[in-house]
Every structure is written in C-alpha cells, then in structure tokens.
Amino acid sequence: MGKVAGGLAAAVLLTACGTAGAPVVPPQTTPATPATPPPASAPAAPVQALEEAYERVIAEVLPSIVQINTKVGLGSGVVYDAEGHVITNAHVVGEATVMNVTFATGGSPRKARLVKTFAAGDLAVIKVDDAQGLQPARWGDSAKLRVGQLVLAMGNPLGLSGSVTEGIVSALGRTVTEPESPGSTGATIAGAIQTSASINPGNSGGALVDLSGRVIGIPTLAASDPTMGGAAPGIGFAIPSNIALDIAAQIIEHGKVINSHRAALGIRGNTIIGADGQPTGVGVGVVEKSSAAARAGLREGDVIIAIGGRSTSTMAELTEALTTHRPGDTVPLKVVRPDGKTDTVTVTLGELSGE
C-alpha cells in the first residue's frame, strides 16, 4: 500500500559535507608525478540533447508549481487556469480552508482559499486571491502514456522549493490505497501511474511532467517497505492528469463533484479481524438509505467477504475491488450474516458521491 508523500512535511536536516573527521593521509616519501588529465571532450550528442530537454522543461513548468502552506504542514500544487485555480491533493489541504501559496520563481506569499475537496480521490482545488501573473500549466493526455517514458516530478519536497527528480513511467493502471492516518484521506486511487521518479514528503500535489513540458500526473504517494520500516525507493504513484482535470473541472463549474465515475455500495464499514489475528472480511456498520446495499438487502452486522468473485478480507480490498466496476454494474456479493450463515446476493452498484 502507498504511504502519503505530502501534507505534513518536516524541516529538512542538512548534514555538512566538510572535511572534519576525514581520514588523515600520510605524506608521500617520494614526490608523486602529477597525472596528466585527459583532454576534455564534448558530451555525446544524445546526452547533450537530453540535458537540454530537461533544462527546457524545468524552465517552462516550474513557474506553474506552487508550494501550499497550511498551519499543519506543506505540499505542492499546479496552477490550473489564469483565474487562480490550483489543483492539489486533498491530504495536502487537510482541514484547512485558508492557506498561503508561494512560487518557485519567488515573490511574496499569496493567500488562497479552498474551493472543494474530493477526498475519495485525494484531489482538491484551491483558488489564489491574487491571480495576477499566474502561469497555468500545460496538461497532457495521460491515456497516451507509455511504460518506459521519461518523466520529471516537480514540487517542494521537505520544503525545498522548486525541486525536480527524474525517472520513468514504471507501470500504468495501478490501484493503490492510502493508509488511513491523521495525514491521509485513506483514498483509493484507480488507474494510478507508477513512477521511479522520487516522491518525498512535500511533493504531493505537484506535477509529474513529460519531456514535452505537459503535466501528465499529480504525484501523491510513495510506497513503503514493511520489512524496512520506511519508503521503498523508486516506487511512487501519481493520479493521472485526465482524472485530475475531470474532477477539477467539475469542482470549478459546480462547486462539487457531480459525477465521480466510480461505483459504490453505499455502506460504512471496517475490517473484521478473526481469532487468528488475520482479516476476515468487511463488517457492515451503516447501510445508507436507498443505496445499492440497501436495495440488495444488506444489513448492519453483515460481513462482506467477496464481491464479483474477488475476495474482500479488508476494507481496502473492498474499495479496490469496487474500482474495477462501473456504476450500474450488477455483481454478486458474498456475505456472512450475523447468525453465521453465508449468503450470496446480487447488487446493482450505485455511484460514489462527490460530497
């Protein structure tokens, strides 16, 4: 599962790379003959061309990247339009409704206000009060991405404004769920872009950019390695630009998400742990009125153990399974009733609310 890579970014601790404590080299008894340096040679043409492409993209895109500062932390954002709308992650904004933004190109902080969050997809839109001089990003079509494509991640990791890391598109179409914590929305992201570009705390909400200078994703998560107890290097995830643009456009036009395009059961539940300490299913705590679950006859106390033939031992597995379906799909749902009997019901899925 992913680990949130934004939101609460701590101050960076820098260690000086000086000479103190360096090993002492004893003097030479015989004077050494200075080595003759090889003649300087120009970089190979392909390398030089790649460097120039990086430089061009960075110079073009960085003015569209902002640092978002709230009372509890910081993250990144991407300028969406000339009116001052900025796309970021919901977990970067958190509970804040007013925040300050600063720019990689300098200048005084500007006040911004929350327009709306879409917590289920970990996206949010804020609006800068003073939009003068804002440079909207150019957006790309994430549906055209290819595995192996070179990308740059731009943002403000650890508060280091205007930082850039490079990597490739490692995989497409991942489904990842954020761990639930005070700094996370616990969102499930469908169709995520996996990248080897480093995503560190503070990068969240920034830009994943192709070498044409187009934003093709919103960096959101860094994978964690449970065996090492920390981040797994080179495994990060970004929300595809097509999803981010669709959600942002709805928020700006309607003030909320009116079409999430995501299936929903209409329950609130939690993971049930068995006697052996292992998860056994999703306990239904609340069945929402007139929801798909209510129409299918689900009741409080039921335990969902599979949907559409896919096992759902945890709430995250249930949520991820739902991302493989569309609103209106009819699927079998396997449940264990409070009396211990196992039952299979047919559910016509509803749509995940944008509230």
Q: With helix as H, strand as E and coil as C, how does the chain read? A: CEEECCCCCCCCCCCCCCCCCCCCCCCCCCCCCCCCCCCCCCCCHHHHHHHHHHHHHHHHHHHHEEEEECCCCEEEEEECCCCCEEEECHHHHCCCCEEEEEECCCCCCEEEEEEEEEHHHCEEEEEECCCCCCCCCEECCHHHCCCCCEEEEEECHHHCCCEEEEEEEEEEEEEEECCCCCCCCCCEEEEEEEECCCCCCCCCCCEEEECCCEEEEEEEEEEEECCCCEEEEEEEEEEEHHHHHHHHHHHHHHCCCCCCCCEECCEEEEEEECCCCCEEEEEEEEECCCCHHHHHCCCCCCEEEEECCEECCCHHHHHHHHCCCCCCCEEEEEEECCCCCEEEEEEECEECCCC
Which residue type, as a one-letter code, is found at position 149? Answer: Q
Active site (annotated) includes residue 122: yes
Residue tagged active-site, from 204, 224, 291, 313: 204
Residue tagged active-site, from 64, 76, 85, 91: 91
Residue tagged active-site, from 64, 76, 122, 184: 122
Interatomic CA distance for residues 9 and 5, integer angstroms = 9
Active site (annotated) includes residue 204: yes
Active site (annotated) includes residue 302: no
Catalytic residues: 91, 122, 204
